[in-house]
């Protein structure tokens, strides 16, 4: 990982830790709506590649009431290159988590699941159309991960070996 001041301008803007952390936080909130125990860490690593990739985000946002597994089955293009995107996004996810932990926005339960701390991040979603879309899709993804309730199923659906 390059030092912050040595990263290209575009990378610093799109993948800055505050924005990535916010996306992760929204997904964790969505997960908590269905399962208060919190999201498993392994699932949280799939959030950024789904929410920041425009084609994936458009597909998920286009069918918010449909099940994620069914949406993925009907739109196989979501899975193209997904494993590589996950690998490339890991450093940015770790930076986002680091910032959230440093600010006291997350808690790790005894069972290792990640939970949000209430009243640490604004509930209102605002920003540009793109950032609002990322946040809304993150909530959908989190909620759907909780509904599936099986990490192996999620990983297998997206073509990643658990």
Evaluate whether residue 85 is within a structural domain: yes
Evaluate whether residue 2 is within a structural domain: no
Evaluate whether residue 144 is within a structural domain: yes
Per-residue pLDDT tens digits for 54-66 = 999 999 998 877 7
Q: How many domains does the chain have?
A: 1
Per-residue pLDDT tens digits for 107-142 = 999 898 999 999 888 888 888 899 999 999 999 999
SS3 content of the chain, % helix, strand, coil (to 5): 65, 5, 30
Evaluate whether residue 162 is within a structural domain: no
| Residue 96: domain span | 10-157
Evaluate whether residue 3 is within a structural domain: no
Evaluate whether residue 20 is within a structural domain: yes
Question: Cβ(135)–Cβ(21) under 8 Å?
Answer: no
Q: Report the percent of the chain where pLDDT is more than 70.
A: 99
Evaluate whether residue 70 is within a structural domain: yes
Amino acid 162: pLDDT: 62
**pTM of the prediction?**
0.92
């Amino acid at each position: 990982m390059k030092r912050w001041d040595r990263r290209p301008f575009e990378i610093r803007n799109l993948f800055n830790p505050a924005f990535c952390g916010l996306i992760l936080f929204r997904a964790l909130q969505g997960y908590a709506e269905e399962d208060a125990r919190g999201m498993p860490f392994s699932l949280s690593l799939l959030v950024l590649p789904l929410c920041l990739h425009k084609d994936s985000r458009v597909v998920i946002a286009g069918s918010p009431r449909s099940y994620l597994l069914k949406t993925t089955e009907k739109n196989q293009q979501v899975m193209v290159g997904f494993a590589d995107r996950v690998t490339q996004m890991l450093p940015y996810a770790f930076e986002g988590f680091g910032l959230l932990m440093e600010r006291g926005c997350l808690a790790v339960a005894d069972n290792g699941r990640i939970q949000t701390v209430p009243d640490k991040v604004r509930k209102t979603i605002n920003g540009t159309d793109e950032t609002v879309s990322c946040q809304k899709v993150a909530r959908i993804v989190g909620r759907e991960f909780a509904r599936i309730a099986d990490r192996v199923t999620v990983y297998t659906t997206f073509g990643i070996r658990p």
